[in-house]
Structure formats: C-alpha cells, structure tokens
C-alpha cells in the first residue's frame, strides 16, 4: 500500500491527507524523503557540467521538496496535537535531520560549486533576487561550518547534533509539565471568579476527567484565575506551579538542558571564529551586534521600571488594605491590577469579554485584510489533523491566493503559546506554488453550544498571528528559501505587531465587537474605556518582557554560565528587577530560547520590530487613516510581498523613507512620560 505522505495529494488545494495518514506513516516517509534528498544533493555535487546558478543554487532550492512536504505535515501536527508516538518520532528525527544537514554543508564538492558561482556572480547576469539567494545560500554554508576541516568540522557536527536533541527534549519536558499539573477547585475555591472563568475551569476539568472544575497551566485559564480569584493561597499555589514549569526535578527538569545548550552554543560560535554566540547570531540580524540590542533594551527598561515601581507601590497599599501584611508578591499583581483597572477605567474583563467573541474577531481580522489588501476568505472543507481545525480559501479578484488554517483552542496535546507556520510556502520555481498557512493559538474552549470568548489580550494575539499569516500569504517571490517570513528575526515580527494596531481601530471594534447573547454592538462608552485602558499596566508588561530579553542576551553575550539559574538571578539583580514581577519566561520554560536557536540571543526582536511597527502605523495615520489604500499598497509591495529578497532595513526604508527611533515605541506604550 502506498504511503499517503509520499503519494500525490489529491485533496482540496493539495492539503496533507490527514484523514489517510497514520503515525506509522511518518518514519518510513521521512526515510524515503531523506534518501531522495541525499540523492539530489549528490547529483548536484557530482554534476560534470560547470557550476551555474541553475544547476547549483536553483537545484539546491528543489533538492528537498519531498522532505519539506513530509516534515511540514509532521511538525505542524507534532506541535499542535502531540501524543507519545509523535514525541518519540520527534526524538528520533532530531539527530537524523541534524546529521543530514551536516552532510550537506560538509560536502566539499557541493560547497565548491556554490563558491564557484559566487566568485563569478558579476558576470552571470543574475536578477537582484537571484543575487540575494546566492549570497544567502553561500552565507548559510559558511555559517554552518562549510569552511571547517578535520577535527573542527567533526566537533561542529557533534555539537549541532546534540543541540537538536536537547531542543526536542526541552520542548517535550515543558509540554509534559504543562499537561500533567492541574489544581482541582471546590465550591469555596470559586470565590471571585466570573462565570467565564468558572466555565473554562469546568471544561478543563472535563478534559482532565477530574470530576469538577480545575485550574491548568494553560495561559488562557491561569491568567484570568490570577486576575479574579480572591483566594490568595490558591493564587500562590497556581502561580508557583506556573513558574516552576521545567524546574520540578526528575525526568522533565530543563535546568541541566539549558546549561548544556548554552555551553554547546558557545562552542559552536568559537569553532566558527566568533567571540560569543550572540556575536554569531546577531551578525545576520538588523541589530547587528549585542551592543545595539542592549542599548535598545536599556532605553526601554529604565522608563518601564519606573512606571512598574510606581504601580507596585499603589498595588501594595491595596494589598495591605485587604488585611495582608508584607510585600506585594507576583501572585498578587494581576489580582490587584485588575481591581485598579476597574477603579481607574471602570473596566473589568468580565464586562468586556462577551463582546470579544472568537468568531467575530476572526471576521474582524479578515475584514481588515479585505479593506487593506483586497483578500476574500471562504470556509472550505478538507482533511484536518484535529476536529477543532478550520480551513478557509483565500482569494483576490477571484484568483486563489492561499489556504488559511486556524487551530484556536487549548488542549493538553498542544504546546503552549501561539504561532504561525506554513504547511507549504509560496514560490514560483518550477510551478506557481501558493501557500498553506496555519495560525495556532491556545484560547479557552467553551462549553458545548456556547461561543468562545476572548480577553482583549487574546484578541491581540489573534491579530498578531494573522499578521504573520498575511506575510506568508502575500509573499510574491521566485525562491522558497526567501519566501514569506524567511527574513531577519528582528524584522519578522514587524508585520504581526503592525497588524495588532487594526484591533484598536474604533470602527473595527464598533462593527465586530458584538455581545455574545444579544448581538448588540459594544456600547460606545465601553469602547472608549477599553481603548483608554490600552496602555494600562504597561510598566508590568514591559518589565517582564525586557527582563527576559536581557537574560537571553546575557546568557549568550559572554562565556556560557555553568549555572544558568544563578546567572539569571545575577542579571536580574544587576538591572534592579522589581520584587513583585518575574520574568515572562524563566529559564527552565523559556522555549523561545531553548526549544531551538530561533530566538536565542533574539528574544529582543519583538521590541526591535515594535520600534518599526509603531512608526509604520503612524504612516497610515499621517496619510489619512488606518485603511489608506496607497499606504496599504506600499506596505504590500515593499514589506509583505518581498520576503527575504531584499535586506530588511532597505525594505523598511522603501516603505517609510527612513528608519525609526525608539520614541514612537515609548509613546505607544505610554512610557514616554515615565521617569
């Protein structure tokens, strides 16, 4: 019987045939796809014809087509709907794929051909896009160690193999801790909780078969519990469990993995001739150097810390007024901040949430994309890996643009957080391939028959991930290696963070923020109060983020610490971390940094992009409004369609005419007056 992963996908828009694929199909398919990729690489390296862009660089672009298709299906499922078999496959695939990658970059004949094309580039009459692809291809080989010889090459291969295994283990340990812990709630434990939190806790209890409501470590449940529960003892218990993910001892403890990872990253950087891993990693980013990153973060840190400390003094007085002695603790902050928000802005989440229905917020994100870029979204049927997954065809002027896939609800089999990825990326090499883009979120699943309700933060997350999706869907390049979000890490968050701004446009909320029970639009005074509170508690939010970014940078900008937890504590003491706030991601559950090296030395990139997104949205406002057609067209033509075909700074300058300063970010966060 033919393996469905390797057969033609006779499905709508060639989606993976998840209805036919079993977990037993993945390993044989990866084995076949790897053999095919190796044969393709050998054919390129051994080609008797003189090296050319077509028979070397373009051939490399096509070499892993089957492997990419198989892994695109597998890793999307493994991240969003894991099980023991899929976790085992991830552990098996990590060293296999690392070994294959090392074989490619260590193939001297192959690199010699790439180098030959590079040396002759001036006489080859290449397009600008081809010049860019050639440069990135050669740079990728060099940064992967293609120029190393002998023991150095062997050492680097071993380091990369071990890092791939450690990243998989880190992710699976974190998922295990998040999946296994829950706290049952009796009738007396529900005091203060709004109906939507109780309903979410009951749904979570049903999933855990706990016989009643529970609190889990899913952000969509634990955050509102910390906001509303009047049981300080339970808030402390839940918060400490949340903060202890990956640091509970035993088989799922990530502290040793973090230490080994940092040591190996330092070794990797030194083998490649860099002083530190941060120097290596940031070389290809917009920031360029660790010093530039630290300079940005500290410009934001000082006003954010001042704002947070002023807020902490007020919240601590509220704590004492409730009869609790001692300092404000991290499990108190969200509870008293929520109370204070109601006092200052006459706003609480229980009043707000019925107006932020998931389906209406999806409709809002689609409607904005239609007004800005002319995109249409039509629900379609097709094979999916989980019953909660939804599909849409995306068109423009009646032409197919993409398939958009939405997987919105939290479940025990899904890793935490939210992300955008592609089952298939856009390119035009050989044929016109349109993307299949997926947004994965972890919103609370409602009781059967009830609408899913979002917090305002959830709604921002939905718009954020959809901004990434637009970057993928509107990509218009020839080569897959530079398609969509294949850009500098500190540029990739620009489209996503920019798109969040449209959630704050009053006319968008007036149309789509409708009550779940009555269908009535959000009252104008509630809309004004909500938008007026947009920068509320921003000192806290900025401090917990920037602290994480500074710890990430500190881990990699120097010698690797033997004890990352001690180094984390030292960095937080050096910057004067407020006592009542903890890092957004402590080291043992800092998946951005330790699940792989995508955001290692790069967690700052959200803030680097925010400097641009605040300035970019101002371009719309200066042009007459958030839906100005000429500005939208320029944004698509420069940033969204170009992928990595042009240097990121050049793309931004093409859109805006200049690079921005930090002032727009501080103003957008309400920190411009903090002292």
pLDDT in tens, 629-654: 999 999 999 999 999 999 999 999 99
Angle between helices 330-345 and 232-243 (to 10 degrees): 120
| pLDDT over 70, % of the chain | 100
Amino acid 536: pLDDT: 92
Q: How many Å apart are CA 246 and CA 176, to the nearest integer?
A: 9
Angle at 75 between CA 72 and CA 76, to 5 degrees: 80
pLDDT tens digits for range 247-303: 999 999 999 999 999 999 999 999 999 999 999 999 999 999 999 999 999 999 999
Does residue 386 register a pLDDT over 70? yes
Average pLDDT over residues 330-346: 95
| 447 in any annotated domain | no
- How high does pLDDT run on average in the chain? 95
Q: Tell which of 87, 115, 144 closes a domain.
A: 144
Q: How does pLDDT run across 658-670, given as a tens digit for each residue? A: 988 888 888 888 8
CA distance 590 to 599: 10
How many domains are contained in the chain?
2
pLDDT tens-place string over residues 7-49: 999 999 999 999 999 999 999 999 999 999 999 999 999 999 9
Tell me if 224 is assigned to some domain.
yes
Q: What is the pLDDT of residues 296-328, one digit of tens each?
A: 999 999 999 999 999 999 999 999 999 999 999
Domain match, 72 and 138 both:
yes
> Quick one: CA dihedral 631, 633, 637, 640, positive or negative?
positive
Residue 480 has pLDDT above 70, yes or no: yes
419-424 and 436-443: which strand pairing?
antiparallel
112 shares its domain with 233: no
Instruction: Provide the pLDDT for residue 674.
Output: 56
Query: 509-535: per-residue pLDDT in tens?
Result: 999 999 999 999 999 999 999 888 888
97, 186: one domain: no
Domain boundary among 195, 220, 245: 245
The answer, yes or no, to whether residue 58 has pLDDT greater than 60, is yes
Q: Within 399-537, where are the H helices?
A: 456-473, 489-500, 506-512, 524-532
In tens, the pLDDT along 406-460 reads: 999 999 899 888 999 999 999 999 999 999 999 999 999 988 888 999 999 999 9
Of 223, 245, 267, which marks where a domain is finished? 245
Q: In this structure, what token pair is assigned to residue 436?
A: 């299949």
Using the predicted structure, report yes or no on whether residue 4 has a pLDDT greater than 60: yes
Per-residue pLDDT at 121: 96
Give the residue numbers annotated as catalytic, written as ranges.
Answer: 465
Regarding whether 111 and 234 lie in a shared domain, the answer is no
Indicate if the pLDDT at residue 675 is higher than 50: no
* 41 and 95 together in one domain: yes
Q: Is 654 exposed, middle or buried (0-12, 13-18, 19+ CB in 10 A)?
A: middle
**Are residues 62 and 129 located together in one domain of the fold?**
yes
Cα 522–Cα 525–Cα 528 angle in degrees, nearest 5: 90
| Under 8 Å between Cβ of 473 and 401 | yes
Residue 127 shares a structural domain with residue 188:
no
Looking at the domain assignment, is residue 203 inside a domain?
yes
Q: Are residues 199 and 83 in the same domain?
A: no
Q: Count CB neighbours of 26 within 10 A.
A: 24
In this prediction, residue 412 carries a pLDDT of: 87
- Which region, left, alpha or beta, applies to residue 549 given φ > 0 means left and ψ of -120 to 50 means alpha? alpha
Number of other CB atoms surrounding residue 675 within 10 Å: 7
Task: With respect to residue 16, please indicate whether it lies within any of the assigned structural domains.
Answer: yes
Residue with tokens 């939804």: 390
549 in any annotated domain: no
Vertex 647, ends 646 and 651: CA angle to 5°? 75
User: For residue 238, what are the domain limits?
Assistant: 181-245
Report yes or no on 655 lying in a domain. no
Same domain, 139 and 88: yes
* 591 found inside a domain: no
pLDDT score of 332: 98
Q: Is 164 among the domain residues?
A: no
Q: Which two tokens stand for residue 441?
A: 């979120």
Q: Are residues 140 and 210 in the same domain?
A: no
Partners of 409 in beta bridges: 443
- Residues 200 and 206: their CA atoms lie apart, in Å, by 10
Q: Are residues 19 and 121 in the same domain?
A: yes
Q: Tell me: do 222 and 137 sit in the same domain.
A: no
Q: What is the CATH number of the domain that holds 39?
A: 1.20.1050.40
- Confidence (pTM): 0.92
Q: How many alpha carbons lie under 13 Å from residue 533 in its C-beta half-sphere?
A: 21
pLDDT tens sequence across 184-241: 999 999 999 999 899 999 999 998 999 999 999 998 899 999 999 999 999 999 999 9
């Amino acid at each position: 019987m033919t393996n469905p992963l390797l057969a033609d996908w006779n499905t709508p828009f060639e989606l993976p045939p998840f209805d036919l694929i079993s977990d037993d199909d993945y390993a044989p398919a990866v084995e076949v796809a790897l053999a095919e990729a190796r044969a393709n690489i050998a054919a390129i390296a051994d080609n008797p014809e003189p090296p050319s862009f077509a028979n070397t660089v373009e051939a490399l672009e096509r070499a892993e087509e089957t492997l990419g298709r198989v892994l695109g299906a597998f890793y999307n499922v493994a991240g969003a709907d894991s099980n023991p078999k899929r976790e085992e496959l991830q552990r098996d695939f990590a060293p296999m794929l690392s070994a294959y990658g090392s074989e490619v970059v260590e193939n001297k004949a192959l690199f010699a051909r790439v180098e030959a094309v590079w040396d002759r580039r001036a006489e080859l009459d290449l397009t600008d896009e081809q010049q860019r692809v050639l440069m990135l291809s050669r740079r990728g080989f060099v940064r992967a160690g293609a120029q190393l010889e002998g023991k150095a090459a062997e050492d680097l291969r071993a380091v990369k193999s071990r890092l791939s295994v450690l990243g998989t283990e880190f992710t699976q340990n974190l998922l295990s801790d998040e999946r296994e812990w829950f706290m049952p709630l009796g009738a007396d434990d529900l005091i203060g909780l709004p109906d939507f939190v109780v309903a979410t806790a009951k749904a979570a209890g049903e999933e855990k078969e706990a016989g009643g409501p529970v609190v889990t470590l899913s952000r969509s449940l634990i955050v509102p519990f910390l906001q509303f529960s009047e049981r300080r003892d339970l808030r402390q218990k839940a918060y400490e469990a949340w903060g202890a993910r990956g640091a509970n001892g035993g088989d799922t403890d990530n502290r040793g993995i973090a230490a080994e990872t940092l040591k190996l990253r330092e070794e990797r950087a030194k083998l490649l001739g860099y002083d530190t891993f941060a120097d290596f990693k940031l070389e290809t980013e917009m920031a360029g150097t660790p010093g530039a990153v630290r300079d940005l973060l500290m410009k934001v840190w000082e006003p954010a810390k001042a704002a947070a400390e002023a807020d902490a003094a007020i919240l601590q007085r509220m704590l004492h007024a409730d009869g609790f002695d001692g300092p404000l603790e991290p499990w108190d902050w969200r509870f008293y901040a929520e109370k204070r928000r109601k006092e200052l802005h006459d706003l609480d989440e229980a009043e707000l949430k019925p107006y932020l229905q998931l389906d209406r917020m999806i409709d809002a994100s689609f409607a904005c994309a239609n007004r800005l870029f002319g995109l249409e979204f039509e629900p379609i049927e097709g094979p999916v890996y989980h019953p909660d997954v939804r599909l849409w065809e995306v068109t423009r002027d009646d032409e197919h643009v993409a398939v958009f896939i939405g997987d919105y609800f939290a479940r025990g089999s899904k890793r935490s957080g939210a992300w955008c990825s592609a089952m298939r990326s856009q390119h035009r090499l050989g044929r016109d391939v349109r993307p299949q883009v997926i947004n994965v979120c972890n919103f609370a699943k409602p009781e059967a028959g009830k609408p899913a309700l979002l917090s305002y933060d959830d709604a921002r997350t939905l718009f954020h991930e959809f901004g990434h999706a637009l970057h993928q869907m509107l990509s218009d390049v020839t080569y897959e290696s530079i398609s969509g979000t294949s850009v500098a890490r500190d540029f990739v968050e620009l489209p996503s963070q920019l798109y969040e701004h449209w959630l704050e446009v009053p006319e968008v909320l007036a149309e789509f923020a409708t009550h779940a029970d009555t269908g009535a639009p959000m009252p104008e005074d509630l809309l004004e109060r909500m938008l007026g509170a947009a920068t509320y508690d921003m000192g806290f939010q900025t401090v917990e983020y920037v602290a994480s970014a500074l710890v990430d940078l500190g881990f990699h900008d120097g010698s690797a610490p033997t004890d990352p937890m001690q180094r984390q504590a030292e960095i937080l003491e050096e910057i004067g971390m407020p006592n009542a706030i903890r890092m957004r991601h402590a080291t043992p559950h800092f998946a951005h940094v330790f699940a792989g090296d995508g955001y290692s030395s790069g967690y700052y990139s959200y803030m680097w992009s925010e400097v641009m997104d605040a300035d970019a949205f101002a371009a719309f406002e200066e042009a007459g409004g958030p839906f100005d057609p000429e500005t939208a067209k320029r944004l698509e033509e420069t940033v969204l369609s170009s992928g990595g075909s042009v240097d990121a700074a050049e793309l931004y300058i093409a859109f805006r005419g200049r690079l921005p300063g930090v002032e727009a970010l501080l103003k957008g966060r309400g920190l411009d007056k903090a002292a």
